[in-house]
């Protein structure tokens, strides 16, 4: 589920369905007691009747193992009447207890976030005992990478601008002690089909509040997961920076830095930090861009750039005219092939989160 909440400590008023609500508490999930629905009911759960008083459900636009996502319209009179949103309906009867706790933890985290490049969530309802309903911003523009591969021209300035947006959103999360743990192209969405659409970070299903602490759960998506997670070490926000390094590499080169059909060999490459800049795809890329990637794809998390450090890297601060000289058009075809393969995998898999390695992974044959 991709989403964001802004938070105070009050429940949304029925008269103001999009009034911010939630809490601002942060802490390591591994060091705090598990989330219990009864403990957070006043802050997180709402009467299911109010949901149908507020929203009219439309067509199904997505489906998961225990949920469906619908387009929906606000029908309740007020300033938001007629607004189109997306609503995720989760079947409580079939939802494993651990997944329910994860959902409630996700809601707690997302309600503490408010950033122009993080997707908005509006309300959270409980229809006892059947369903949870989560109303979120409807991202009409779809995935960012789908937009990029349709371009006729593509240059380093465009890639740099996208990286600025991603780093700004992630830095905001890290400043609040939030680690996302599943950064990847699928979670970068567009608000509309227009050329000036805003890019937003989505899907905080694996996110945790750590506030300078560490967690140890093994989770993520194989091609984007950091070495310290694979080594079963405790880790912090640095794992997100590794994932950003992978995304930047793909944006510039058109293909992932770590690839192997065999997952064991893939993980071995990641743990060794074994990647290359192949001349046929990287000869037009600036040395500053490649330097940023090296500093992000650093195996030792203590030496890896933080989000605060990355936003001041020379490549992010380069003059537009200098970056416009670096044409990445030759890599667009590689990016199209990568994106088509990624979309095919997503279409084949109906369940994105699978139990693996004593934790959770989005299983993908890379």
Buried b (16+ CB within 10 A) or exposed e, 149-183: beeeebbbbbbbebbbbbbbbbbbbbeebbbbbbb
Q: Beta strand 219-220 with 354-356: parallel, antiparallel or unpaired? A: unpaired
Query: 262 Cβ partners below 8 Å, 6+ apart?
Result: none
Residues 297, 10: Cα–Cα separation, whole Å: 41
Residues 101, 38: Cα–Cα separation, whole Å: 11
Q: Are the C-beta atoms of 227 and 235 separated by less than 8 Å?
A: no
- Which sequence positions are flagged as catalytic? 182
Could you give phi then psi for residue 162, rounded to 5 degrees? Answer: -65, -40
Task: Name the residue among 50, 189, 38, 211 with its Cα closest to residue 122.
Answer: 50
Q: Are the C-beta atoms of 326 and 286 separated by less than 8 Å?
A: yes
Residues 329, 313: Cα–Cα separation, whole Å: 24
């Amino acid at each position: 589920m991709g989403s964001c909440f802004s938070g105070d400590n009050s429940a949304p008023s029925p008269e103001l369905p999009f009034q911010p609500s939630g809490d601002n508490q942060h802490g390591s999930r591994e060091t705090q007691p598990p989330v219990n629905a009864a403990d957070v009911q006043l802050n997180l759960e709402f009467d299911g009747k109010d949901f149908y008083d507020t929203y009219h459900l439309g067509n199904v636009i997505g489906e998961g193992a225990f949920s469906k996502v619908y387009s929906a319209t606000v029908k309740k009179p007020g300033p938001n009447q007629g607004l189109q949103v997306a609503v995720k309906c989760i079947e409580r009867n079939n939802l494993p207890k651990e997944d329910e706790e994860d959902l409630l933890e996700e809601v707690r985290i997302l309600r503490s976030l408010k950033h122009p490049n993080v997707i908005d969530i509006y309300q959270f309802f409980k229809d006892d005992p059947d369903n949870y309903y989560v109303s979120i911003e409807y991202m009409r523009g779809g995935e960012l990478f789908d937009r990029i591969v349709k371009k006729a021209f593509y240059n380093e300035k465009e890639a740099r601008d996208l990286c600025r947006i991603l780093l700004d959103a992630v830095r905001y999360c890290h400043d609040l002690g939030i680690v996302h743990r599943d950064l990847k192209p699928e979670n970068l969405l567009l608000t509309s089909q227009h050329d000036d659409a805003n890019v937003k970070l989505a899907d905080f299903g694996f996110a945790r509040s750590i506030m300078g602490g560490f967690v140890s759960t093994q989770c993520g998506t194989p091609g984007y997961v950091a070495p310290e997670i694979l080594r079963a070490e405790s880790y912090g926000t640095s794992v997100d920076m590794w994932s950003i390094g992978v995304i930047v590499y793909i944006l510039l080169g058109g293909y992932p830095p770590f690839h192997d059909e065999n997952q064991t060999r893939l993980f071995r490459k990641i743990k060794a930090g074994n990647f290359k800049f192949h001349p046929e795809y990287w000869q037009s890329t600036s040395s500053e861009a490649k330097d940023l990637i090296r500093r992000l794809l650093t195996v030792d998390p203590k030496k890896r750039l933080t989000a605060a450090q990355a936003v001041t890297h020379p490549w992010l601060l380069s003059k537009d005219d200098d970056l416009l000289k670096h044409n990445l058009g030759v890599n667009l075809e590689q990016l199209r092939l990568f994106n088509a393969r990624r979309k095919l995998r997503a279409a084949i898999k109906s369940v994105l989160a699978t139990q693996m390695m004593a934790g959770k992974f989005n299983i993908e044959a890379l």
